A and B are shown apart, each in its own frame.
Chain A
Amino acid sequence: MSLDKPYTDVPGTTIFDAEMSRQGYHLNQFCMSLMKAENRARFKANERAYLDEWAMSEDQKQAVLARDLNRCIALGGNIYFLAKIGATDGKSFQQMAGSMTGMSEEEYRNMMVGGGRSIEGNRYTGEKK
């Protein structure tokens, strides 16, 4: 019997479940290594070489190099782990979150000041706005 996954029809949302965690293990553990200042320095000095020390897929490495967080998440990354990459780049959580929405940093910030993204039309995939 398969697991019940009622969260697959939430738009623009990937739930980090056991399956995603399995796919993203090495990607997320790489992110975790950036909690140490010396590793952040080594990563910044040569990103590709540092990534090659990890058993990540080539797609995962390319997504990190491109700082494509949506792609990282599709490949098993979790936002709390991926945040270490943003921290290494000196980005705030708001800048990171905004980068996944297709909005500019200013547009995203203004949306938040204006009360955030509305839930209306954002509950189910394919729902009319």
Chain B
Amino acid sequence: MAHISASVYTSHIPAVGAALDLGKTAEPYWQPVFQGYEFSKQWLKEQKPDVIFLVYNDHANAFSLDIIPTFAIGTAPEFAVADEGWGPRPVPKVIGHPKLAGHIAQSVIQDDFDLTIVNKMDVDHGLTVPMSLMCGQPQAWPCPVIPFAVNVVQYPAPSGRRCFMLGKAIRKAIESYDEPLNVEIWGTGGMSHQLQGPRAGLINREFDTAFLDRLIADPEGLSAMPHIDYVREAGSEGIELVMWLIARGAMSDVNGGKPPTVRHRFYHVPASNTAVGHLILENN
């Protein structure tokens, strides 16, 4: 049977992708950001996941205001890299895993989470920047990826509690898949940042630190945090952090197993407008 071996959490800032694509990673501004992922790149090479289930949000690229799915699972064989207005990032196309994705969709919907099934979708920096941070600049990504897009563009995003419970349903779905696949689940976005209005540039290190602490030790309690706390304390775009709770809900300890091992933790301010947070938790 398939199993979830680990979860990875990371910000997905577009400027990080641009810095990589333009060869600026050694610049003093960017060097500390990429330094924080050196361990992670090596770790991923050793882990050799068969599939990455990648939770992210689309930033008005695959979805306009015509259709706004709260939860959308990508079930296509492959996904093109979106042109977000600057031209597409020069990164490999994303190969999907239609069979596992379809299995997860069917299982999760039967578990009361009404996913939108997407068979054609471009993926934006929300997905490709985490891939770049964790994999560097390969010719092809190391394994198939199942894109899972969460609406955080139009308020309200799903609640933290809903995300956490969904993570549990995704775990159950993966564990009932009849092939011995090593699956990782990644939660992306955040940390504190605000991109709009006179309060743009907001960073709240104290909030972010507490969020990381609680995500590790008290994810269930953290999942009860209301939207307004994210907006007020972590900025209007800081609400992306609810997506981390999907990945966290899929871990063993909150499903009757043992606590995870914290393999890596990293925090840095700033990357462009945003606080960079990154965590790797391994199941035991």
Contact = CB atoms under 8 A, between A and B. Distances in A.
Contacts of B215: none
B15 interface: yes
Interface in A74-129: 78-81, 83-84, 86-88, 92-94, 96-98, 100-102, 108, 111-113, 115-119, 122-124
A1 interface: no
- Interface bin, chain A: 35 or more
A125 B73 CA distance: 38
A109 B220 CA distance: 37
Contacts of B270: 112-113, 115-116
Contacts of B283: none
Contact of B61 (A35, A40, A70, A98): A35
B207 interface: yes
B138 interface: no
A18 interface: yes
Nearest to B272: A94
Interface in A5-53: 6-7, 10-18, 21, 24-25, 28-29, 31-32, 34-37, 40
A5 B156 CA distance: 10
Contacts of B232: 7, 10, 123-124
A73 interface: yes
Contacts of B201: 97-98, 101, 108, 111-112, 116-117
A102 B199 CA distance: 10
Contacts of B233: 119, 123
Contacts of A16: 153-155
Contacts of B65: 21, 24-25, 28-29, 32, 81
Contact of A87 (B15, B86, B153, B231): B86
Given A13-B231, A17-B155, A115-B205, A122 B199 contact: yes
B203 interface: yes
Interface stretch (B36-44, B47-55, B89-97, B190-198): B190-198
Contacts of B194: 13, 97, 117
Interface of B: 14-15, 18, 29, 59-61, 64-66, 82-87, 153-156, 192, 194-207, 227-228, 231-233, 235-237, 269-270, 272-273, 275
A101 B235 CA distance: 14
Contacts of A24: 65
Given A10-B199, A31-B60, A79-B196, A112 B236 contact: no
23 contacts: A7-B155, A7-B227, A11-B198, A12-B197, A12-B198, A13-B194, A14-B196, A14-B197, A16-B154, A80-B59, A80-B153, A83-B84, A83-B85, A84-B60, A87-B85, A98-B201, A100-B196, A111-B201, A115-B203, A116-B275, A117-B201, A123-B233, A124-B232
Nearest to B201: A117
A45 to B, nearest CB: 17
A22 to B, nearest CB: 9
Nearest to B194: A13
Contacts of A98: 200-201
A15 B231 contact: yes
A35 B196 contact: no
A116 B156 CA distance: 25
A97 to B, nearest CB: 4
